Structure formats: structure tokens, C-alpha cells
Amino acid sequence: MRQSKPMTPGVNKRLLFDEASVEAKEGFTTVMNPALRTEAPVLTPEEPWERHGCCAPTVMLDSGVYKMWYCAYGEDDVARSCYAVSTDGIHWQRPNLGLIDYAGSRDNNIVISFHGGVFQHHGSIFKDPADKPERRFKCIYGGGLYAYESIYGGGARFRYDAVLPATWHYSGIAGAYSPDGIHWTPYEELIMPWYTDTVNVAFWDDRIQKYVAYVRWNEYLRVEAGALKGSFDYRAIARSESQDFENFPLPEKILEPDFNHPEDADMWGGGLYDTAAVKYPFAADAYLIFTAAYHHTNDTLDVELATSSDGVHFTRWREPFVRLGPAGDFDSMMIYMGVGMLPIGDEIWLYYGGFDQPHDQVTEGKYRPAIGRVRVRLDGFVSQDAGGQGGWLTTRPFVLEGDHLEVNLDGSSRGWLKVEILDETMQPLQGFTEQEADRLVGNDVRSVATWGGKRDLSAIRGKPVRLRFVGSSVKLYAFQLAS
């Protein structure tokens, strides 16, 4: 048994997506649970400024309103950030904002135009609880241009070029702020001395009290003295953190394909694209990445899930978290997960850009993406599963706070789960033993653990304990000490 390190769930929820909360287990297996695709898109190109597609959504629940910012490509193929609102997460309205001119009219829902100037590449948005109200919303996007000499002729960027270009351009990473998510002011300088041609993500991480950004990393492409050098062979994911949103240091690579792994063998020239990274808002110490995995052999992308307890060290699941749609559907060739998630009842809804054309071998002018939706059970990204033979799982020690224990489980009709509470020496506490524990059955995101019909934990509040889950034919997602 490995050395224990205490965890501190307090009254917070713990997701059991890895071994960070687990001391030991037998008969339980860690399983990734794919999202449920909902078939029909929720937002399709309808307006002239969207004629060539809608993609890259950012969503959030703000002041009781579901809000979405998304990238739209007009008839002129210029990227613009647009704004939509919804009362149910399915039907989205485009408010007439009157801010940005398109074809001689401001009767539209455009909030940012990325045509030249300081705005050049669509980004993602977050609400910042650490800054002034006039800077409450932040945007990270591509702005300004880097150019580099194509000194590395073997790079993936040039694999289809008959003649190697002398230079290539990438946007730098820029930022903007807004009091309301509608009226935007760009920062005067780039916020990170790095390159981008993807949708980067930033947010305020309350756990470390810093801003963090997840950005593109192109292997063999680097920044030196404010200039780009080299080319690249595959894409990976990098991370930077800062006390100041305006000044991020150079990022460090945190996640890349494993070319010794069979599922990653066709990622040369491809790799891991957009991250859609998020600190899960409903649990402690839980970070999720929904990376668009580019499989170069088939020239397509689906979405893979990566999980972490610290936002730096991630476990990537190679099975698709969101699979491509059926042949001919709007999302049958490429899926890029959007940023953010909406809590809808006991589910999490996520949004993505779906394409019916491949990445490189697209027919000229045929890109016309739409925005789709997937559903996930609350906390249901990964579970600890026991089969019919049964099993047990013991957590690492923590100080018990809260009045009762809630468990997110799915036992369907046959399965069951019991919870035993142990002291630091692994001895069962009287009144909370396996024999005294009542069976939890069925499918419930907040099943309350009881012992002889009693749920009150006040007698052991403040004591260091472990939880020992025992069950059969059950999926265990999370637990929470609640008041």
C-alpha cells in the first residue's frame, strides 16, 4: 500500500476520476463515460454574417441567463464573435446589439470583428471574479502577427506544399476586457509572448489564486527574442500561469501524444488541438480538458477527455469522449469542443463546433460548421465501476466536515453500494461499519448514506477518517460531505 497523503474535501465534492482520492481498491475499475450526443445542432448558420459557419462556442450561466459567444464566418470569410442568449440551453436568440457594422448595417449580434487591426483570431471568454467590475469579463484570442523563416522543411505545416514558403505567420496571444461581455476593450500589448492559431482558454483559478491559460504547443516551433523559429511536426498542449492577466510568461508543455501508444500512432502531423479546459465548478480539485484529437491518417478530429487534480498533470483517455456523427451529419468529420458548461438539472451540457468536411482535404469553400450539444450526467465524466463479482474502494484520509454523506452512484436495478467509515488506522468506527451500513440502490446523483436508517455524522465531525465503499454492479462517480 502506498504512502497516504491526506486530502481535504471539507464539505466539497470529490470526483473519483483518478487515484488522487483513492488509497486502495479491489474489484473497482476506473472507466471513462462518453458524452451523450444530441444529434441536432442548436445553432446553425442563418444570418449573412454567419453564412460560412458557426463554431467555437463559449457558454456560461450568468445572472440567471444562459449566454453563448461563438465564432461566425460571414460571406467575406472574416471571423466575428457573436453573442446569443437562451432560457433553456436549446433555443438560442440573437439579440440585436447595434455595435459592429456588417455590410452597411449594425442590426446584428456581433460583438467583435477579427478582421485586421488588433483582433485577428477568435478566442474564448470567462468571467473574472478577481478583477474590477469594469473588467469582469476577459477574452483570450489571437492578435498581432509573428512571422518566421521556414528553416525546418520537414514540418507538418508544409506537408502539402509543392513549394516551401519562405515565411509563415501566426497570431500572437492577446487579451481584452469588458464590463458586460458585449463591449470589449483590447489590451495594448500581447498578454503572452507566444503564437496561436487555435481557441485558447484562460480562467481565474481560485485554488491557486492565479490566472491560468491553456494554449497551443507546436513541437519544434519556439519563441526566441520575440521571434518565431522553426516549424513543427505535431500539436500538443501547454499551460501558463500568472498573477496578472496582462502578463503571462512563456508556457510549458503539459500534454502531448504518446507515439508509442497504438491509438496515437496516426497523430504525426496532427495531435491535440483545442483544449476547452475548465476547472470543474461543482467539485474540489477537478480540472478537465476536452481536446480535439486530430488523427492525421483519416484527416478527422473527435474529442478526447483528460482529467487532473491539479490542472498540470493530466490523464488522457484515448477512447472518444464525443464521437463523430453519422456520415453526412453536420459533425461527421470534425468536432471541436467549446469552452464552458451549463448546469441543467442533474446534467452538464457542453457545446461544440461540428464540421462535415475533413481538416485538410476539404473541398474549397465547403466549410459550414454548426454548433452541437452533448449531455453528461452531473459529475459523470469518469466513474469507479464494480462488476457483478463485487469490490471495495478505500479513500485517502481526511478530516470529516459536514452533517451527512451524499454519493453519486448508478446501480441500475441490480447494483448496490455500502459505505463504511474507518479511522486513521483503518479500523471501522462503531455505528458506521459495513454491517451497520444500509444499501444504496438505484440511480441517484445525491444518494444519502445511512447506517441503521440514520444519516447524522455530527458525532464524528472533525475527526480524521477514511471512507470504504463496498458494492456490486455499480458505478461510483463522486461523494460529498454536506451540511
Task: Give the 3-state secondary structure of residue 459.
Answer: helix
Q: How far apart are CA 481 and CA 21, in angstroms?
A: 14
DSSP label at residue 316: E
In a domain, 4, yes or no: no
Residue 110 forms beta bridges with which residues? Answer: 82
pLDDT tens column, 146-202:
766 555 555 555 555 566 666 667 888 999 999 999 999 999 999 999 998 889 999
Residue 467 lies in domain: 13-33+383-482
The gap from C-alpha 274 to its chain's centroid, in whole angstroms, comes to: 9
pLDDT, residue 2, reads 39
Q: Which residues pair with 260 in a beta bridge?
A: none
**Which of 378, 403, 435 is at the close of a domain?**
378
Q: Is the Cβ–Cβ distance between 87 and 66 less than 8 Å?
A: yes
For residue 194, the 8-state DSSP code is E
In this structure, are 343 and 445 located in the same domain? Answer: no
Say if 8 falls within a structural domain: no
- Phi, psi angles (nearest 5°) of residue 156: -65, -30
- Domain identity same for 400 and 282: no
Q: How many residues does the chain have?
A: 483
Report the chain's mean pLDDT, rounded to a whole number. 91
Q: Is 423 contained in some domain?
A: yes
Q: Count CB atoms within 10 A of the CB of residue 7.
A: 19
In a domain, 419, yes or no: yes
How far the first Cα of the chain sits from its last, in Å, is: 32
Q: What ranges make up the beta strands (E) of 347-442?
A: 347-355, 370-377, 382-386, 391-395, 398-399, 404-410, 416-422, 440-441
pLDDT tens digits for range 295-343: 988 999 999 999 999 999 999 999 999 999 999 999 999 999 999 999 9
All three cell numbers of 157: 505545416
Cα–Cα distances in Å, from 427 out to 377, 398, 417, 449? Answer: 34, 15, 19, 19
- In a shared domain, residues 374 and 236: yes
Q: Judging by beta carbons within 10 Å of its beta carbon (0-12, 13-18, 19+), is residue 110 exposed, middle or buried?
A: buried
Same domain, 264 and 281: yes
In our burial notation (b when 16+ CB lie closer than 10 A, e otherwise), range 213-236 reads: bbbbbbbebbbeeeebebbbbbbb
| Residues 55 and 22 reside in one and the same domain | no
CATH number at residue 454: 2.60.120.260
pLDDT tens per residue across span 120-162: 678 899 999 999 999 999 999 998 777 665 555 555 555 555 6
Of the candidates 292, 202, 181, 296, the residue with the CA atom closest to the CA atom of residue 244: 202
Which of 316, 349, 378 is a domain's end point?
A: 378
Residues 374 and 388 in one domain: no
Please report whether residue 231 resides in a domain: yes
CA distance 117 to 76: 16
Q: What are phi and psi of 262, to 5 degrees?
A: -55, -40
Confidence of residue 1 (pLDDT cuts 50, 70, 90): very low
pLDDT for 381 beyond 70 = yes
Residue 2 included in any domain = no
Q: What average pLDDT does the segment 406-420 reach?
A: 98
| Whole-model pTM over 0.85 | yes
Q: Please indicate, yes or no, if residue 5 is contained in any of the structural domains.
A: no
Q: Are residues 192 and 249 in the same domain?
A: yes
Whether residues 424 and 367 fall in one domain: no
State whether 46 and 28 are in the same domain.
no
Cα torsion through 6, 7, 10, 16, rounded to 10: -140
- Angstrom distance (rounded) from CA 234 to CA 213: 20
| Number of domains the chain is built from | 2
Query: Do 299 and 431 share a structural domain?
Result: no
CATH number at residue 262: 2.115.10.20
Identify the domain boundary among 350, 378, 406. 378
Same domain for 166 and 283?
yes
How far apart (Å, rounded) are the C-alpha atoms in residues 368 and 147? 29
Which tens digits make up the pLDDT trace of 255-297? 999 999 988 988 887 899 999 999 999 998 999 999 999 998 8
Handedness of CA 350, 355, 356, 357 (dihedral sign): negative
Whether 461 and 398 share a structural domain: yes
Residue 299 belongs to a domain: yes
Per-residue pLDDT band for 3 (boundaries 50, 70, 90) equals very low
CA angle 400, 403, 404 (to 5 degrees): 90
